[in-house]
Amino acid sequence: MAEIVTPENKTESYRIFDKIAKTYDFLNIILSLGIDRLWRRKIIKLIGNSPRSNVLDLATGTADMAILLGKTENISNVLGLDMSKEMISIGKEKVLKQSLDRKVKLDIGNGMDLPVESSSKDLVTITFGIRNFGDFKKGLREMHRVLVPKGQCVIMEFSLPKNILIRSVYLFYFRNFLPFIGNIISKDKMAYSYLNETVEKFPYGKEFSDEMINAGFSEVAIHPLTFGIASIYVAKK
């Protein structure tokens, strides 16, 4: 019987994504109603128009964020890293279809031990991935290490709405509907159950921004999305 990956054993979480890679993009559209695409475009707006020579996208998955970054005129080069070989494989196909293979490169890489030189990236992004790190604090320190001075770090992650009614509906969706549909379509009995557990246990808002400051970042700004069901954190080295 295959090992069950739990939030307490996140160092192996990439195995889940290897299993659900083929249905991942389809399920994202269904389960988020496409709103995750709007959130990613919000990241592009927050990044601004300053030239970026070297950008790193962590937990890049099937490369949606890396591709969006690659389409941005002021960005020269994008490196997307992920631990899931299957997700990277699909991402590479998408990059080729978009004719972005000269600008966007994808590879296997551990966010807690980045195969990247210190002070070499102008911008580091990660969308809905840091909560899956075995040690997210170490991941934050690695992001800080690879950024140039004044470099920017942008993290998008799920959070919990402050409004009690909205939070109740949101948690019902995450605890019941999402795992039910997700596990059926992905044909994995616990992949999307794991998702809601990681979301509920992960720090968000000021608690997470404080962790970024502890890792060395400054000027952390929090941008809540859609009633607070997700948040974008923008910080500088």
Is 150 buried (19+), middle (13-18) or exposed (0-12) by CB count in 10 A? exposed
pLDDT above 60 for 11: no
Tell me the CA distances in angstroms from 186 to 18, 120, 192, 213, one per residue in order.
11, 37, 9, 37
pLDDT score, position 189: 66
Q: Which CATH architecture group holds 7-236?
A: 3-Layer(aba) Sandwich (3.40)
Query: Which pLDDT tens digit goes with each residue over 13-42?
Result: 667 788 888 888 888 787 777 899 999 999
103, amino acid identity: K
- Specify whether the CB–CB gap between 155 and 184 falls below 8 A: no
**How far does CA 138 lie from the centroid of its chain?**
16
String of b and e for 26-35 (b: at least 16 CB within 10 Å)?
ebbeebbeee
Query: Which pLDDT tens digit goes with each residue over 75-122?
Result: 999 999 999 999 999 999 999 999 999 999 999 999 999 999 999 999
pLDDT score, position 128: 92
pLDDT score, position 8: 44
User: Using CA atoms, how far apart are residues 134 and 9, in angstroms rounded to an integer?
Assistant: 7
pLDDT above 80 for 10: no
User: Using CA atoms, how far apart are residues 81 and 60, in angstroms rounded to an integer?
Assistant: 6
Mean local confidence (pLDDT), 156-160? 94
- DSSP H/E element including 108: strand 104-108
Region of residue 154 (phi > 0: left; psi between -120 and 50: alpha; otherwise: beta): beta
Backbone angles phi, psi at 200, to 5 degrees: -70, -25
pLDDT score, position 53: 93
- Specify whether the CB–CB gap between 94 and 122 falls below 8 A: no
Token digits of residue 234: 């923008």
User: Using CA atoms, how far apart are residues 131 and 72, in angstroms rounded to an integer?
Assistant: 26
Query: Which pLDDT tens digit goes with each residue over 167-223?
Result: 999 889 888 888 888 778 877 766 677 777 788 889 999 999 999 999 999 989 999
pLDDT score, position 144: 98
14, amino acid identity: Y
Query: Which pLDDT tens digit goes with each residue over 38-55?
Result: 999 999 999 999 999 999
More confident residue, 31 or 231: 231
Q: Where do runs of H (alpha helix) occur along 126-190? A: 136-146, 164-172, 178-186
